[in-house]
Amino acid sequence: MKLQHKKNSILREKANAYIITVFDKQSTIHKSFKEIDKKINNKITKLLKDNKLKTSVGSISEFPVSGELNADYLFVVSLGEKKQFNIDVLRTQTANVFRKIDSMKLNSVAFSLEEIMGSTNKKNEAYQAVSEGVFLSQYSFKKHKTKIVNKDTSIKDISIHVSGEKNSNLIQKMLERGKIFATSANLTKDLANEPANYMTPTKLAETALEIADSHGLDCQIINKAAAKELGMGSYLSVAAGSNQEPKFIILKYSHKSAKNKPVALIGKGITFDTGGISLKPSAGMDEMKGDMSGAATVLGVMNAIGQLKPKINVVGIAPCTENMPGGKATKPGDVVYAMDGQSIEVLNTDAEGRLVLADAISYAVKEKCSAIVDIATLTGAMMISLGSVRTGVFANNDVLFEKINKASQKSNEPIWRMPLDDAYGKMIISNVADIKNVGDREAGSITAAKFLEKFVGKTPWAHMDIAGVMTIKQSKGEWTKGMSGNPVRTLIHMICDY
């Protein structure tokens, strides 16, 4: 899709679809739309005056206008009440109308933002939100559908129109920025939606190398032998039952003017999770192809960072492996040693995410990273706590948490801070090793976070448990059914604003 700002009036643009916006309880249309309305016999004005035009938030009205305008259809998109208008509404409604346009197999769209730009003091954010809404809404995963010939969106050309805006270069920059945010989230969705027989640790490593080559990042892949030399016994204990070679991915972005030690983003990369010897029930196990969503998130974020070039040093780390049963698999009751020397009693091999993260965090600490944020589909307990609405965030540092919190508000990917009381740490003290990888049934997501905290030392750290938000059950707005890509845009914002 080509998305560009044009200085000319929307009426001069020939397109399959025109889009204009209205607010709820609006009795008149914006002056720039009056010419459009005049050409269609004042249809919109009449409907507004008679309260017959749907203007509640979420409403989209469609009018055939072929022969009256340079378009086949006019879409009137409601943004709800003006006093409650925000960037999230704009992103969602943009996504909704573009979903509708794509379903009608229309190819070209002209979108007037006159009403919106006169109603917000966050114009740059608004342009970015429109772009995000467009590109997020057109995501689909159809590569294995053999009967579908055209697997891409029908929409090819989109023009954005705002009269009187002189800085076309800045507008185009914000549109491109939104595209980078959205397509990077879509990359994460592609990786997480891919079946596990295709998305192996090796394939993830190849993807990381492609990202590095495309955007000038440094990439290092630590194989099984090298991981063993580094003492990554915790990580390798998870890989023991699989025939797939584990890959420990390191992607580095450096900015010449940045003076900070790198911020580490660490993503759990279990490309398929059977539970190991502590085997999961078969029902729903197919979704465990998405247990590498943390790693996919890191790759998506690094893909964006490589294009946006923020003035900060960042390292993305993704410990990738399968978790499989087998003759060489780790058994409940085994003791393994992490990279930092701590001993771990493995009571449940289905609590494997924390084992691979332990060595990844230890690696980041050894590299003297200035802060660590790990992202993982870690616990079913988080799904019970917060459902599919919010990501649970644990943090040992208020400043770091607030950076994530502000970023999540920009992206509309909600989070909630969870507790890290010392009392929870006592639940993972082992009788035979330093710590055990699970506590009792109580506070499962918190004890998992306390386990990770054991490897952090004094480094500012946050843990994002994305188990509840991993999937989307129904396509709506900017969200498409399948793997969610949450919290890619949050983390891009966090790094860019750091």
Any catalytic annotation for residue 417? no
HEC string of the chain?
CEEEEECCCHHHCCCCEEEEEECCCCCCCCHHHHHHHHHCCCHHHHHHHCCCCCCCCCCEEEEECECCECCCEEEEEECCCHHHCCHHHHHHHHHHHHHHHHHCCCCEEEEECHHHHCCCCCHHHHHHHHHHHHHHHCCCCCCCCCCCCCCCCCCCEEEEECCCCCCHHHHHHHHHHHHHHHHHHHHHHHHHHCCCCCCCHHHHHHHHHHHHHHHCCEEEEECHHHHHHCCCHHHHHHHCCCCCCCEEEEEEECCCCCCCCCEEEEECEEEEECCCCCCCCCCCHHHHHHHHHHHHHHHHHHHHHHHHCCCCCEEEEEEEEEECCCCCCCCCCEEEECCCCCEEEECCCCCCHHHHHHHHHHHHHHCCCCEEEEEECCCHHHHHHHCCCCEEEEECCHHHHHHHHHHHHHHCCCEEECCCCHHHHHHHECCCCCEECCCCCCCHHHHHHHHHHCCCCCCCEEEEECCCCCEECCCECCECCEECCCCHHHHHHHHHHC
User: Which residue among the candidates 99, 177, 247, 354 is catalytic per the annotation?
Assistant: 354
User: Which residue among the candidates 54, 173, 224, 280 is catalytic per the annotation?
Assistant: 280
Any catalytic annotation for residue 280? yes
The catalytic site residues sit at 280, 354
